[in-house]
Structure 1
């Protein structure tokens, strides 16, 4: 490998300078609290003395306990449904009592008494959480009365009271049968309806009045001494001191020092990013679009972290920082993606409240997301990716809670935030297509889409040049296996293989694989004319690709798959017929030599697949000799001299291609005929 040198293009450094300048203005204006601590561990800093008065804030657990207490003390508000009492008396007056008509006044009096105490639905038992305070408010005509729950009937207790009173006035012997016969239970229905709106408003008002502090800590008092164990009480003091510092105290040094520190940190960030690109994929510096895209991904991450730091702390669980991994993975190889992704997460260490926890959570979930999204990236399966990413985030969060604070495992809101963040990661992925348009890049998703053989251009190839189409499919499969063996870009190779010969659409009969039986297109043409017709499929392919909007990266496959070689058949025929060896330029392709591994793979697979079709004996020795001769021939013709591919990788390609050809051209068993069958 050649020794790497720093890029000489000034635009590389100008872009870094602009990025660093933007970062400086995104940097926090207030420094973070200078001390790290964990409950249960020793205080490893110097003895901390309060430099200012500060309120001692209640913990989340204390606030939750108070909210639960207030919820238990809330007196629910019920509306009195006045027509119920009236309807009950109307129903009573309509009931026929026959010879027991003298009982009606007593029944009316009992019903009036019951409704004067009010009736609740049966689902409000004495132990119901809504009634735990022991009182209710009953509102009517703009006023409300506070009543003990014990004085209010439920439907069941009211009916029991009515039955009991009826027995006393009607006599026990006939009371039950008469009671059921006339349906006196129907006289009792609830006349109280809970008003959720007013009840909830009273609860919210009481919650708002909860004091957030438990006391006050005076200046010059010792908060914690060196070596002391950080207890729950100490942690509460430290948290309160830190929040007061972040909210009201902040930076107390000269403003010039703050700006100087921010500038140094910004330079450090962009320098680390520069080195990551330098060592992982030096060629990115030569591709302005990809280079700027990488810088943009880092800037997006930095900006998101900066904005989130000005909002509530839980927002860091919602913003899908792990989608940056998918944005990178769409255009770059894994070995570069993960390094740049890690660097893109560094701003979290600067801005996030629980910096290490948030950093590790997105580090792990981003890696898992990349791995899973490769397999679950179509349709509803993307939600499988979201679920797995969510589970990963929760597991990391639980791990930190088990180590630091088991009690905070009850914080279900954080889990809901992470679920939303995982869904947003999948929802944000379509932005890839916007980035494609802006930077004119080709994503993996786009390549997979272009590789669909139902695309218009590929259908045209299949219809007009079916032999070439079948050849392209075979080359694609062979190139796929070869690309996987040396970690090349498989989707790119597959798409390149499908489109490399589309120029043959314009003149399919010129090529043997499409020629009709008994038809020889080249009959009557000179070797030079035949060679020109063959060579023309390159320029025709480029024209068709541009017309149908194929990306440049696929057009490069069309131009490079023959490199600068010659049309060997007609070239040799020309010389054998006494042609002038100095006048052979018209037999050479005017393409370019492959510059990438993917282009090398296609050149080799295209040539080898075509050559293998003329073999008569597909023995292992013959296939091995064919592959070796073709690859060595390409090397001798300097067709691979511009490509970033090693001898080791070429040897791997040889073995894979030989193995694949042996499987593709395997021998079949002849089926025996039955005796007597002709």
Structure 2
């Protein structure tokens, strides 16, 4: 090692510790922000519970029996379930599809289009012919006429037809006979072929020109394309056309006859699909406990489908509609849980992380319930004998009350009751609103709260578990009796045993989870307080040795504070335990505090009043840091600065006022006040009064109830007028009750005793009792060794 490297490492160690402390503080602040975020915990609550509620149902599956098989034993629905009846739904949808009539399109413009084409063609032919005559005096050729026809209509006129029209000079009579024949044809419905038409007596006809629709039954005036063309030939003959004209213009007329009535398959299929989709799936609801099949029955196809559908629905989980309903209900419960936590924190000024605690315990409790249900469902497969093979019996062994027990231990029974109101509906949601199981859960939670209300030792959890198990067993018997089920005694006894085992399981889980939650949320339970109240605690033993006067003062303050806290309904155990540690800072400079000074010079005689006030006030900060280094809970640490608040160190203030020289420097009252903060809770306020009253009571030369009462009144009045209770919710009624408790306790501590007759305290005997020796009478060590 290089010279001087050790010195540099020593000098660098404080910097490293400071950096480490700063990093720890930043991490603590960040975690404080995370734990205090209601939005974050709300999202965690929903993200954890929505999948939990949407998971496949927990419960026994029904046996898969094929059609025609014999039922080996009665089959009862183990849970309420709804499933889709695919067969019935298919039948209803098929009927809805069949009710949709085929749609036919009627082209009412076909006749007008065909006649218009004839008129335009004849007009164009005449124009071309006259133009050719004016141009060259020669009639237009057939090629010119055919070209003109194609430009107008795209029709291809056979050569013999064009030759006849040229010979007829495009006579308007011929034109009119063609139009008459078309009118006769299009009075009917012309289809391409009758072979591919859908069957049915009724159809829906749609006018493509105006969009109107109507129903026809049956179809009338329906002609195929071939029939309509033959009708056109007959109509042309009836109009006066000769055989030559019919033979020559027949092909042209056939080209003009087109279908005006067609089956719209796409529109029909679309409407049938819409009609089928409008039919909601037909749901079959099977209530829990319904007898589905009796022993010895032959399974029909419908019953086999029902069994299969039940098992498929059980594995598929809940529907989207149910998930949405569960989400809305969970959101409402979450909102009221957050509002309750906020109200409780504002009114009690404690448990800043109550909402986070409620969320964590609720989620953990429901996850445990779900996990144990899954475990029991899979373990029961290894049993083949009733009642051990019935999975529904094991539901009573689920640790439903662990959350209520934890909240009661970590906060108080009142918050435990509120937690139960939030938790039981969520449990019922997960268990498909099974009413008997819901009532069992409610009774178990109430029993768990009652069992740990007077919890003072960690071993007391076992007693609470035994109590909860007994209540569970009684609740099982009661619920099964109310349900009216004729269960064999062995089945009922096994269910009661499962309920009792569930109570023991709750106690075991709570004992494991309690320390974790205490550490995670920095909570102070009665058990932790009792551990801190052990006078063999290293910090208390050190206080007793290094500052015995302060130690005795702390013990008496604890007695006063405990009595006053009990009188006003505050946490009496916390007040007593916090009293033991509130003056630990005095052990660092014990001789500067009057209760630790022995006969002789006072250490403050050589100090100025300002310096003495600084020394006295420093025990608050030093005591806080010392207690923190010993790992005391934050709630106890907060009492150390709050028990003095911002009160004035009056003795040294008055001493400074006596030697004050206004011309040089005026004495500032703020220099003689404790740094604070003021009491934030009822316990801290009671503690401030207890500390002041105990210290003042020691100064009374002839203590009596009247003097104690006057002293208590004066101290309470001084503290109230000094505005020390502005930041806590202590009431005047509380002050009256606390004052009465102080008076009773002081009377018990400073009581009078009768004088012992014949006993003179001023005269010390040479020997305390016969046969005893003083130190001067003892033989030398060598003689004692020989003896």
TM-score range, shorter chain: 0.5 to 0.7
Map 1:618-657; keep pairs closer than 5 Å: 618-657=703-742
Cα offset, 1:53, TM superposition: 12
Tell me if structure 1 keeps the 8 A contact 2:645–2:724. yes
Question: Does 1:425 find its partner at 2:511?
Answer: no
Specify which of 481, 486, 495 is matched with residue 577 of structure 2.
495
Residue aligning to 2:52: 26
Alignment partners' CA distance in 2, 1:243 and 1:659: 75
Residue aligning to 1:363: 442
Cα offset, 1:339, TM superposition: 1.1
Tell me if structure 2 keeps the 8 A contact 1:607–1:630. yes
Structure with bigger gyration radius: 2
TM-score, normalised to structure 1's length? 0.64
Residue aligning to 1:452: 534
Tell me if structure 2 keeps the 8 A contact 1:604–1:631. yes
Question: Does 1:511 find its partner at 2:593?
Answer: yes
Runs (5+) with no aligned partner, structure 2: 1-34, 60-66, 77-292, 378-390, 764-787
**Alpha carbons of 1:272 and 1:31: their partners in 2 closer, same or farther (altered >3 Å)?**
farther
Range 386-395 or range 348-357, more displaced: 348-357
Residue aligning to 1:123: none
Residue aligning to 1:108: none
Range 272-281 or range 15-24, more displaced: 272-281
Tell me if structure 2 keeps the 8 A contact 1:53–1:216. yes
Cα offset, 1:10, TM superposition: 9.2
**Alpha carbons of 1:320 and 1:31: their partners in 2 closer, same or farther (altered >3 Å)?**
closer
Alignment partners' CA distance in 1, 2:709 and 2:370: 59
Cα offset, 1:477, TM superposition: 1.4
**Alpha carbons of 1:367 and 1:453: their partners in 2 closer, same or farther (altered >3 Å)?**
farther
Cα offset, 1:502, TM superposition: 0.3
Tell me if structure 2 keeps the 8 A contact 1:309–1:351. no
Give the RMSD, CA atoms, in angstroms.
3.6
**Alpha carbons of 1:595 and 1:379: their partners in 2 closer, same or farther (altered >3 Å)?**
closer
1:392-427 superposed Cα distances (whole Å, 9 cap, x missing partner): 111111222222236435323323322322222222
1:420 is paired with a residue of what secondary structure? Answer: helix
Alignment partners' CA distance in 2, 1:285 and 1:601: 15
Cα offset, 1:55, TM superposition: 9.2
Alignment partners' CA distance in 2, 1:284 and 1:241: 59
Tell me if structure 2 keeps the 8 A contact 1:317–1:414. yes
Residue aligning to 2:649: 567
Runs (5+) with no aligned partner, structure 1: 1-8, 34-51, 62-210, 222-239
**Alpha carbons of 1:360 and 1:462: their partners in 2 closer, same or farther (altered >3 Å)?**
farther
Tell me if structure 2 keeps the 8 A contact 1:563–1:592. yes
Specify which of 477, 484, 501 is matched with residue 405 of structure 1.
484
Residue aligning to 1:611: 696
Aligned residues: 483
Cα offset, 1:266, TM superposition: 2.1
Tell me if structure 1 keeps the 8 A contact 2:623–2:640. yes
Question: Does 1:276 find its partner at 2:340?
Answer: yes
TM-score, normalised to structure 2's length? 0.56
Tell me if structure 1 keeps the 8 A contact 2:456–2:530. no
1:539-572 superposed Cα distances (whole Å, 9 cap, x missing partner): 1101201221222221111111100111111111
**Alpha carbons of 1:371 and 1:613: their partners in 2 closer, same or farther (altered >3 Å)?**
farther
**Alpha carbons of 1:541 and 1:246: their partners in 2 closer, same or farther (altered >3 Å)?**
farther
Cα offset, 1:346, TM superposition: 2.3
1:27 is paired with a residue of what secondary structure? Answer: helix
1:576-599 superposed Cα distances (whole Å, 9 cap, x missing partner): 233655433321111210111111
**Alpha carbons of 1:212 and 1:293: their partners in 2 closer, same or farther (altered >3 Å)?**
farther
Cα offset, 1:606, TM superposition: 0.8
2:297 is paired with a residue of what secondary structure? Answer: strand
Tell me if structure 1 keeps the 8 A contact 2:400–2:444. no
Specify which of 600, 615, 624 is matched with residue 542 of structure 1.
624
Alignment partners' CA distance in 2, 1:367 and 1:444: 20
Residue aligning to 2:43: 17
Question: Does 1:266 find its partner at 2:347?
Answer: no
1:543 is paired with a residue of what secondary structure? Answer: helix
1:345 is paired with a residue of what secondary structure? Answer: helix
1:593 is paired with a residue of what secondary structure? Answer: coil
